[in-house]
A = this chain, B = another copy of it.
Amino acid sequence: MVDAALQAGTAERRSVFELFARRLTGARRYGVVAGTGRLLEAIERFRFGDAELEFLRDRGVVRERTLDWLADFRFSGNVWGYPEGEVFFPGSPLVTVESSFAEGVLLETLALSILNADSAVATAASRMVHAAHGKPLAEMGSRRTGEFSAVAAARAAYIAGFSATSNLEAGRRYGIPTMGTAAHSFTLLHDTERAAFAAQIAALGTDTTLLVDTYDIEQGVRTAIDVAGTELGAVRIDSGDLPVVVARVRRLLDELGATRTRITVTNDLDEHTVAALAASPVDSFGVGTSVVVGSGTPTMGMVYKLVAHTDDAGGWVSVAKKSADKVSVGGRKSVRRGLSDRGVATAELILLGDGPGGAEEGAELAGSSREVLVPLVVSGEVRREHTGIDGIAAARERHRRCVQELPPVAMSLTRGDPAIPTEYR
């Protein structure tokens, strides 16, 4: 496309691309924006190096003029968007890219890859956090997604409210609190379960978590307390019918005097099984597969569409695909979150015509509302407050606030309509 547009003289037309989801995949009640900080860092690094240019030349993918253009490529446009951690709804313009057509179209796959994957994780994670009723959740799913996606998933889950990750690289790169666990292999390596527990306590002290279900859970708990004493930090249970097993283990721990020893559970948990443990004496959850693959929704189905461009006279033209089943709404947009007098979200108000940041709160908006879009990149310069470790902390806090603002129906785990309607004005 870049090659043909350069040739046709249309590559430099100013263009507005919009990244949005036509619907909330999985019939979720709200989506959670994640990946924005990673996208901004990727845009900063996005260059075509010698190896890439050589490949494109050897394969004849594009002509020389385009290779020259790619060699000099550096994104110089503007990006507006939902700040990371915000919630979103069908049609919400999560990222709006204003640049030449050629620059904007190059970002398409990168932006979609990152936001589709990270937002799917965060959207699932946010539901799990709510289902846990304030008890901490640790992300432990690295093994169930690609080795790079695993690091991104830890980051997205943390933004959505998880407390920690078992992915040490995510700890190193993003400053996320890390935790570890002993696997069954550690117990099996040793000649007895007792020897394994003793080895773990010798290395980590009594404030550690012993995995008690390798052989027999009751015996495992007894051995754990026998070896560690009643100050043992926690026991982990990774199998069985958890509500029943957890209740038994709690009683047994209490009988043994280990009243402060916590219980952490794992075992293919998702938001539904976490919710089902609401009345159980579980102290923390470890969630693996379901959070990193978006709990049934591994991708958000976001798309990236051209909504406006300038013509040869320099005027803006709104455009949208019109055929069949995939109608888009053209034109530049701004967004306000409609709020009731009590501060509860009532609607996603997408205001046509003004473009990002162009709309002021007007008399035509009943009740109150707040601006949603923020500048992410200005003339090619990434806004630093949205990147790095500080950006992640801000996104996590923002998500907490945005979820509190939603009406109660948003917290339903059943499939259904979005918690608030999207209204175009």
Given contacts A189-B10, A199-B7, A305-B184, contact A149 B215 (CB under 8 A): no
Q: Please, which residues of chain B bring their CB within 8 A of the CB of A55?
A: 168, 171-172
The distance in angstroms between the C-alpha atoms of A109 and B169, with both chains bound, is 12
Copies per complex of this chain:
2
Q: Which of B52, B171, B184 contacts A306 (CB 8 A)?
A: B184
Scan residues 151-184 of chain A and give those whose CB is less than 8 A from a CB of chain B. Answer: 152, 168-169, 171-172, 178, 180, 182-184
- Judging by beta carbons under 8 Å apart, are A13 and B189 in contact? yes
| Minimal beta-carbon separation of A303 from chain B (angstroms) | 8
Q: Which of B51, B188, B202 contacts A321 (CB 8 A)?
A: B188
> Residues 292-310 of chain A: 1 if any B CB is under 8 Å from the residue's CB, otherwise 0?
1110001101001110010
- Judging by beta carbons under 8 Å apart, are B1 and A185 in contact? yes
Q: Which of B15, B105, B149, B198 contacts A146 (CB 8 A)?
A: B149
Smallest Cβ-Cβ distance to A219: which chain B residue: B323
Scan residues 134-157 of chain A and give those whose CB is less than 8 A from a CB of chain B. Answer: 142-150, 152
| Minimal beta-carbon separation of A51 from chain B (angstroms) | 7
Given contacts A113-B150, A147-B113, contact A309 B5 (CB under 8 A): no
The distance in angstroms between the C-alpha atoms of A171 and B105, with both chains bound, is 20
The distance in angstroms between the C-alpha atoms of A376 and B38, with both chains bound, is 35
The distance in angstroms between the C-alpha atoms of A266 and B309, with both chains bound, is 26
The distance in angstroms between the C-alpha atoms of A356 and B143, with both chains bound, is 24
The distance in angstroms between the C-alpha atoms of A395 and B217, with both chains bound, is 43
The distance in angstroms between the C-alpha atoms of A217 and B145, with both chains bound, is 39
The distance in angstroms between the C-alpha atoms of A157 and B8, with both chains bound, is 34
Given contacts A172-B52, A183-B1, A188-B306, contact A144 B7 (CB under 8 A): no
- Judging by beta carbons under 8 Å apart, are A185 and B17 in contact? yes
Q: Which of A188, A289, A298, A299 has the most CB of B within 10 A?
A: A188
| Minimal beta-carbon separation of A254 from chain B (angstroms) | 22
Q: Which of A114, A117, A118 has the most CB of B within 10 A?
A: A117
Any B CB within 8 A of the CB of A3: yes
The distance in angstroms between the C-alpha atoms of A112 and B63, with both chains bound, is 41
Smallest Cβ-Cβ distance to A114: which chain B residue: B147
Given contacts A1-B183, A213-B324, A323-B213, contact A189 B101 (CB under 8 A): yes
Given contacts A168-B56, A324-B213, contact A189 B114 (CB under 8 A): no
**17 further A-B pairs in the complex, CB-CB below 8 A; given A7-B202, A101-B185:** A1-B182, A4-B203, A5-B189, A8-B203, A10-B199, A52-B168, A55-B172, A61-B178, A109-B143, A114-B147, A117-B146, A145-B298, A188-B306, A189-B306, A217-B323, A220-B323, A240-B324
- Identify 28 residue pairs between A and B in the complex whose beta-carbon atoms are under 8 Å apart, listed by A's number: A4-B202, A4-B204, A7-B202, A8-B190, A8-B195, A8-B198, A8-B199, A52-B172, A59-B171, A59-B178, A109-B150, A112-B143, A113-B147, A116-B143, A117-B147, A118-B146, A144-B301, A145-B298, A147-B148, A148-B148, A185-B304, A185-B306, A215-B323, A238-B326, A239-B323, A240-B324, A292-B299, A293-B298
- Residues of A whose CB lies within 8 Å of any CB of B are 1, 3-5, 7-8, 10, 13, 15, 17, 42, 51-52, 55-56, 59, 61, 63, 101, 105, 108-110, 112-114, 116-118, 142-150, 152, 168-169, 171-172, 178, 180, 182-186, 188-191, 195, 198-200, 202-204, 213-217, 220, 238-240, 245, 289, 292-294, 298-299, 301, 304-306, 309, 311, 319-326
